[in-house]
Amino acid sequence: MNFSGEGVGVSAADAAEAGAAGVDVAVIVVAAGSGTRLGRAEPKAFVTLGGRPMLAHALDGVFAVREAVQLIVVAPDAELERARAIVAASAGPAVDYTSVVVGGASRQLSVAAGLAAVAPGVGVVLVHDAARALTPSGQFEAVIAAVRSSGAGVIPALPVVDTIKRVDASGLVRETVDRSELAAVQTPQGFVRAELDEAYAAPSADFTDDAALLQSFGHSVGTVAGDERAFKITTAWDLARAERLLAESAGSAGSRAVPRVGTGVDVHAFAPEDGADAPELWIAGLHWPGQRGLSGHSDGDVAVHAVCDALLAAAGLGDIGGIFGTDDPRLAGAHGEVFLRETRRLVEAAGLRIGNVSVQLLGNRPKLSPRRLEAEALLGGILGAPVSIAATTTDGLGFTGRGDGVAAVATALLYPA
């Protein structure tokens, strides 16, 4: 992840990184509201909830999304440094880069500030309130999927269960409203980026949510099922409710949701320099044209093989040799995607989900840095989880330093599904 310390917009370099990583989704988290109704002097998003700022909890749902996204946090001018620190402390490799920008005098102006920081190439934008701090990642993913499938705006909604009355200024009941046609809406609200840009270019009024703004421009907005946990923390009672839910979740998770860690190592030597059948070089799922390949029964992708071993080890399923064999003719020359997809299937069939994967390459070629983001996006997309990749030359020491081959060490984190 590339954390932007400036926090006042998106630099050309940041935008280029997002584009190279194939990031299609941006999430704007609005954290610029006051804490007046909560009875606090500080802005609501920075009030402590379960020992952490409310904003940190809100970011948990974003960082758990199983694809790379751009994150933009909109904060009050006086709280920019705190917001940056919270993002840096909470951040995981699921987010390719982040920005912290200054909000406006209203929610709509704050969203506009966040929208201005969305990188070119992003097609789907989600707007989320930090006050809905316990929103699960599944709600983000449901909104993203619905926007993509419908090509329109989508908001999470819950059915209204209370009887609703319309009353006048004196408190006199005028009518009973048909609640079957009503819904309580939540965030994140998701939109096609071009439609949101159009609406914010010339807003006709100051609306309380983005869906109403888009509808004022004639755009349709659909719904997906909301989640009770995504309630908005507005009053002290709401805050106490959130505290109770966190305590209950920690108590039940402590006995069963134990994370599992696995480590994998793989080594391959470079193939001889000449020969008509010299293999191509494949590392981290990418083809490296014009470079001498690694010897191996498949494509010799040390990074992918180490990742598979780490995932299998964490799941208690053995290793890549035991699962796939070392001389299966069907896998001769097979590329890493084949191994990764099957390994993911086995892990998920065992009742586990991938939290994240980290890979360290050891070798003096190829040079990883120009294609690191591309590799992370590719592997992360296949595994449905964040993948981070780094490399070292080992300062010329050992067989990797001499250029005889490449090694890789991977660590994987799994959670019960």
Known binder of ligand: residue 268? yes
On whether 319 is known to bind a ligand per the annotation, the reply is yes
End-to-end CA distance of the chain: 25
255 belongs to an annotated ligand binding site = no
Annotated ligand binding at 270? The verdict is no
Alpha carbons 376 and 282: distance in angstroms, whole number:
14
Is residue 320 a known part of a binding site?
Answer: yes
**Which tokens sit at 275?**
């020969």
Cβ distance 110 to 182 under 8 Å? no
328: Cα within 13 Å, side-chain hemisphere? 11
402 carries a ligand binding annotation: yes
Query: Strand 352-362 vs strand 405-416: parallel, antiparallel, or unpaired?
Result: antiparallel
- Are 6 and 101 spatial neighbours (Cβ–Cβ below 8 Å)? no
Annotated binding residue 411 = no
Cα dihedral 41, 43, 48, 53 in deg (nearest 10): -160
Q: Is 110 annotated as belonging to a binding site?
A: no
* Spatial CB neighbours of 329, under 8 Å, sequence gap ≥ 6: none
The answer on whether 335 is annotated among ligand-binding residues is no
CB 271 within 8 A of CB 283: no
Annotated binding residue 309? no
DSSP code string of 6-29:
S-SS--HHHHHHHHHTT--EEEEE
321 is in an annotated binding site: yes
| Total Cβ atoms within 10 A of residue 6 | 13
Three-state secondary structure readout of 351-410: CEEEEEEEEEEECCCCCCHHHHHHHHHHHHHHHCCCEEEEEECHHHCHHHHCCCEEEEEE
Cis peptide before 156 (omega within 30 of 0): no
At 82, list the tokens: 């705190």
Cα gap 221→159, rounded to integer Å? 16
265 is annotated as contributing to ligand binding: no
Q: Binding residue per annotation — 283?
A: no
Binding residues for a divalent metal cation: 266, 268, 305
Binding residues: 266-268, 297-298, 305, 319-321, 392-395, 399, 402
